[in-house]
């Protein structure tokens, strides 16, 4: 079962159009650490790296 992140909070919508840190495509979404990243990319990344927390412990919330 894959990771399902909840990024409905306004804090995940930066408003700027920047390249995703994972796939390089432009995104309006940002991680909790303020890095541009698609929600789908983050979920896919966690599926591939289940034991790593590159963006901090609160990134999953
Ligand atoms: Zn992406």
- The alpha carbon of 58 and the centre of ligand 1 are apart by a number of angstroms equal to 19
Structure confidence at residue 61 (pLDDT)? 44
Quote the CA–CA distance of 49 and 11 in Å, as a whole number.
24
From the CA of 4, how far away is ligand 1's center (Å)? 15
Q: How close is the Cα of 21 to the center of ligand 1, in Å? A: 7
Separation of alpha carbons 43 and 4, rounded Å: 6
Query: Ligand 1 centre and the CA of 16: distance in Å?
Result: 14
| Residue 52, token pair as written in the block | 């790593």
Write out pLDDT tens, residues 10-57: 888 877 889 999 999 999 999 877 889 999 998 888 888 777 665 554
pTM above 0.75, yes or no: no
pLDDT band at 3 (very low <50, low <70, confident <90, very high): confident
């Amino acid at each position: 079962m894959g990771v399902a992140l909840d990024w409905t909070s306004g804090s995940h919508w930066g408003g700027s159009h920047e390249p995703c840190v994972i796939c390089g495509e432009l995104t309006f979404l940002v991680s909790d650490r303020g890095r541009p990243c698609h929600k789908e990319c983050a979920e896919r990344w966690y599926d591939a790296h289940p034991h790593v927390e590159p963006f901090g412990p609160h990134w999953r919330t």
